Structure 1
């Protein structure tokens, strides 16, 4: 069964839709637990989590640190990491269950899965960005954290888990996987486009690309977190 781990920091405006999309998994019995790895929220995030029956893990702010703490508390044989502003579409459960069954039955080697990236916005720029992300995965096998990550616990442990860093923990982790150890499921992970709408798609896209280039040149993640323009640990 799956343990879901969601990192959060003041995610009260986005957490409810994220959790609602996971309810069918709990009803079906595939989802064992949902863990909120919180980095010190001061809004209603913790109240929402408590009302939903989530287990709350408090950790030092920083998405990698929070994800690592949440995974350490999880009890499931599978881990699903998802951001607090991302909503899986209605087909995610079927696709995830089929993938997990194949791995558990030994029909394929242990591997991780991610979801198709989508934004909750219409227009040319969201469409273009979604295609760029799909191309990035096809060429580099490089999904970001807002696409979610479903992975067997034993494989997660073998790879050493997430690095305790505020940003780029997703890139650092998937780089540990071999190309044939990562697949994309057909279900969508629909992420909030609020940052793109508020800053502009071009500016936000260039900032993301700039941060990735700096990370490639080994600029420390704590510096990148400031450049990225978010409180580390936020959705």
Structure 2
């Protein structure tokens, strides 16, 4: 089975070549698609790897960019990866093993690349959320089989909360979820920029508003403003 990795980006010039090199170190032949939300293509313009698929006309917003990337992808399994999230060393073999065991979709456990104890509490809370509600977020490298994704109509093309919308659709359709034991290593920059408590509460509020029917575009505007 072939794996395609889709990376939605917006002004990630400093990060993009590092994450591409990281993916190549895991599997030199993995298909990588970078969907740039900047109309000027500022991130895809600096990509050094000539084999990476570049999408420069995507509509801004992670869900829109991921949906565009999914159309381009040729893999049997799609992995949605943030530009500041690094996968564990045997990520692709773990995904393939999970699919072979009967999983239709899943994610890695969250790992935050910081040493402060509060980050460990966040990680444990996310573990619990995923085990109880099958609700991983995009910074956990969600993966899904193409068959399951096609069955639910593809990745929700919304600017924010596409990960939550995708998880809900897959769960409601009865597709089997698995939470892999390995942890990704994601940047703590959002928490450090906003403060751990403020960023965590803000994320919870956005989720509650979305689940209550708020417009994803308005939520995206508020997310970018904070």
| Distance (Å, rounded) in 1 between the aligned partners of 2:15 and 2:118 | 22
Q: Which residue of 1 aligns with 2:90?
A: 91
Shift of 1:171: 0.2
For the structure 1 residues 50 and 17, does the alpha-carbon distance in structure 2 shift closer, same or farther, using more than 3 Å as the test? closer
Shift of 1:40: 1.2
* 3-state SS of paired residue (1:115): strand
Indicate conservation of the 8 Å contact 2:105/2:175, yes or no. Answer: no
TM score, norm. by length of structure 2: 0.90
Q: Does 1:138 align with 2:139?
A: no
Shift of 1:25: 4.0
Unaligned 5+ segments in structure 1 are none
For the structure 1 residues 204 and 226, does the alpha-carbon distance in structure 2 shift closer, same or farther, using more than 3 Å as the test? same
Q: CA RMSD in A?
A: 2.0
Indicate conservation of the 8 Å contact 1:115/1:187, yes or no. Answer: yes
- Counterpart pick for 2:218 among 205, 223, 233: 223
| Distance (Å, rounded) in 1 between the aligned partners of 2:194 and 2:225 | 12
Indicate conservation of the 8 Å contact 1:92/1:188, yes or no. Answer: no
Query: Quick one: higher RCO (CA 8 Å, sep 6+), 1 or 2?
Result: 1
For the structure 1 residues 144 and 39, does the alpha-carbon distance in structure 2 shift closer, same or farther, using more than 3 Å as the test? same
Q: Which residue of 1 aligns with 2:20?
A: 19
| Distance (Å, rounded) in 2 between the aligned partners of 1:92 and 1:193 | 21
Shift of 1:116: 0.8
Q: Which residue of 2 aligns with 1:82?
A: 81
Shift of 1:156: 0.7
